[in-house]
Structure 1
Amino acid sequence: MATGVNLAQLRALVAVAENGGFGSAAEELGISQSAVSHAVAALERVVGGPVLHRVGRVRPTPLGERLLPHARTATASADAVAAIAARHRGSPTGTVRLAAPTTVCQGLLPGLLGEWSAAHPRVKVRIFEGEDDELDRWLAAGTVDAAVLIDPDPAPAGSLLLARDSMHALLRRDHPLAGQPVVDIQDLEDDAFLLSEGGCERHIREVYRRTGGRFVPTHRIRDVGTLISMVHAGIGVSVMPALAHAMLPPGCVLIPLRPRVHRRLVLTGPADRPWHPAVTALVATAAVVDGLRTG
């Protein structure tokens, strides 16, 4: 007879839901797939119904969706207790789920992950790549423990400004303006403009607002990789943050844009609850890493 919910069951539910399957959840938790299945089955006996759809893509049932926020909170709190104890002993530990936009994942995080691994070998960082407008919702909901937010206002107490990332014109290398040291936004009005709807639209609108120029995107593209491929194919031009440089093929260039507009990239934990101690350690480490600010 079931006696109650335990952390192992909740960890199994969260891991399967976030990884989309029992095998990948088992790998993350460091246990067998059978153990994950047994833990989920035990949880279902306790709560009186299925928490996961097992046919086709594994996903939470309505009951599972209701349980997930509480499961995340419970497991995060348990991890925080363990991390506080480890920090008291002199070494932070635990898993930090970190959300960041695509350009940050490609242009900024690889270096930081190396620094964090060297400084805190017992802390594991899991990256969740998302759109700009998703990140604060994930952080507020407890889906992640930390995030790199774009222009938070106000920035949560204890957060860190990682970079001021300026907007650049994205052009094919053979574009007539590609060799210029700086490009005025008005100079792009004769080209088809590709707008990434995944983020930075308000920064691009601000560039046009400052000059009184016409903002009339020809194409609206959600995926940043697709947008870059279209510029590379000669379909048009775009405006992207400097960190997108890490994503460019050899046939594309980023040119500083005038007027100058930038976005602030802020590393933070949640605003409404205590931070996982390992998040605090990561923020402190990032604060002493040179070369993050992009201009």
Structure 2
Amino acid sequence: MTPDVNLAQLRALVAVADTGGFSAAADELGISQPAVSHAVAALERSLGAPVLWRGSPCRPTPLGEQVLPHARTAVASAAAVRAIATRHSGGPTGTVRLAAPTTVCQALLPGLLKAWRAAYPQVTVRVFEGEDDELAAWLEAGTVDAAVLVDAGPLPPGAVSLGADSMHALLRRDHPLAGQPTIHVAELEDDDFLLSEGGCERHIREAYRRAGTRFTPRHRIRDLNSLIGMVHAGVGVSVMPALALTMLPADCVLVPIRPAVHRTLSLTGPTGRPWSPAVGSLLAGMAPGVAAGAAAGVPSR
């Protein structure tokens, strides 16, 4: 008789799929690498076929791709049961995997993590940094438990608004336009434009569209720190969210652009499945004090 699939096997599959390797999965689960390998091998014996391609990184096989969503649901449900059982004896417990854009990780999350640690000492929050367009997919796939989404559509009950983050021109402090209170995007035409491909491109293009100004970026840069370094070196100028202020060297400045364009930030759990009790507690505890504080932290200049 084929052995039954158990939760440890499914938890190992999810960990290897998410981290890309057996060693990283072992660190994630707090067990040895042989234990992870044994659990995955036992799962494959139970199913009668491989669920992972061994490599760098490890990837799910076609069977693994079909099993993985059910494995995530089982692991999340088990965590929810444990959290419910322990909630009555001292508050929420467990681990919350939280995804957010780079600028949010830099500017807003440190304050939120500090507040959550004080209010919910038995909850561990693990941060995953991603691009704007990746976060919703991670959340709905179960790769993370909560996410800060940009310009999200209809959100489930319990989601928290973190405010609006306006687009600013990024310039060296010695740039002729650096001292102006605002800059029309047409005024940037004489400079080489460095475009961040991280997720704000549509906001930048919208500003130029509203202005009726041709948009011709000279360089396309994926990493935000690389882009800031290039502006700092005098290669060109850029436009980025106000939250990037915390990432800038002293001789770079952000100046609000015209036409004004902003992005909205929302912290939420998934729409397609129940939230874990720990996620619900973290977000419920933000209304209204912590959420208002986070929104107040979005700089306007």
Question: Same fold judged by TM-score > 0.5?
Answer: yes
Q: Partners in 1 of 2:133 and 2:64 — Cα distance? A: 25
Describe the superposition over 1:41-97 as per-residue Cα deviations: whole angstroms up to 9, x where unpaired.
Answer: 111111112222334433333322222221111101111122222334441111112
Work out whether residues 157 and 271 of structure 1, in 8 Å CA contact, stay in contact via their aligned partners in 2: no
Q: Partners in 1 of 2:65 and 2:272 — Cα distance? A: 22
Displacement, 1:264?
A: 0.7
State the AA in 1 paired with 2:294. Answer: L
User: Are residues 1:269 and 2:269 paired?
Assistant: yes
3-state SS of 1:156 partner: coil
Q: Partners in 1 of 2:214 and 2:52 — Cα distance? A: 49
Range with greater deviation from structure 2 (235-244 or 104-113): 104-113
Quickly say closer, same or farther: Cα 1:247–1:275, change in 2 above 3 A.
Answer: same
User: Are residues 1:205 and 2:222 paired?
Assistant: no
3-state SS of 2:157 partner: coil
Q: Partners in 1 of 2:230 and 2:43 — Cα distance? A: 48
> Aligned ranges for residues 103-182 of structure 1 at < 5 Å?
103-182=103-182
3-state SS of 2:293 partner: coil
Displacement, 1:263?
A: 0.9
Range with greater deviation from structure 2 (197-206 or 144-153): 197-206
Displacement, 1:174?
A: 1.9
Range with greater deviation from structure 2 (127-136 or 175-184): 175-184
| 1:4 aligned partner | 4
3-state SS of 1:286 partner: coil
Q: Partners in 2 of 1:240 and 1:55 — Cα distance? A: 37
Displacement, 1:150?
A: 0.6
Q: Partners in 2 of 1:212 and 1:184 — Cα distance? A: 11
State the AA in 2 paired with 1:46. Answer: S
Spell out structure 1 runs of 4+ moving beyond 6 A.
none
Range with greater deviation from structure 2 (213-222 or 274-283): 213-222
Displacement, 1:12?
A: 0.9
Range with greater deviation from structure 2 (243-252 or 146-155): 243-252
Using structure 1 for the length normalisation, give the TM-score.
0.93
Displacement, 1:8?
A: 0.6
Work out whether residues 7 and 74 of structure 1, in 8 Å CA contact, stay in contact via their aligned partners in 2: yes
Quickly say closer, same or farther: Cα 1:192–1:150, change in 2 above 3 A.
Answer: same
State the AA in 1 paired with 2:60. Answer: P
Work out whether residues 20 and 56 of structure 2, in 8 Å CA contact, stay in contact via their aligned partners in 1: no
Using structure 2 for the length normalisation, give the TM-score.
0.91
| 2:185 aligned partner | 185
Gaps of 5+ in 1: none
Q: Partners in 1 of 2:88 and 2:211 — Cα distance? A: 54
Work out whether residues 51 and 60 of structure 2, in 8 Å CA contact, stay in contact via their aligned partners in 1: yes
Q: Partners in 2 of 1:202 and 1:157 — Cα distance? A: 27
User: Are residues 1:47 and 2:47 paired?
Assistant: yes
| 1:30 aligned partner | 30
State the AA in 1 paired with 2:232. Answer: H
3-state SS of 2:294 partner: coil
Q: Number of aligned pairs?
A: 295
Displacement, 1:2?
A: 4.5
| 2:18 aligned partner | 18
Work out whether residues 92 and 122 of structure 1, in 8 Å CA contact, stay in contact via their aligned partners in 2: yes
Work out whether residues 162 and 266 of structure 1, in 8 Å CA contact, stay in contact via their aligned partners in 2: yes
Work out whether residues 158 and 284 of structure 2, in 8 Å CA contact, stay in contact via their aligned partners in 1: no
Displacement, 1:147?
A: 0.9
| 1:194 aligned partner | 194
State the AA in 2 paired with 1:142. Answer: G
Q: Partners in 1 of 2:55 and 2:273 — Cα distance? A: 36
Q: Partners in 2 of 1:88 and 1:139 — Cα distance? A: 27
CA RMSD of aligned residues (A): 1.8
Q: Partners in 2 of 1:243 and 1:10 — Cα distance? A: 39
Work out whether residues 195 and 239 of structure 2, in 8 Å CA contact, stay in contact via their aligned partners in 1: yes
Task: State the identity as a percent.
Answer: 71
State the AA in 1 paired with 2:153. Answer: D
Q: Partners in 2 of 1:53 and 1:250 — Cα distance? A: 47
Quickly say closer, same or farther: Cα 1:245–1:77, change in 2 above 3 A.
Answer: same
Q: Partners in 2 of 1:225 and 1:64 — Cα distance? A: 36
State the AA in 1 paired with 2:293. Answer: G
| 2:293 aligned partner | 291
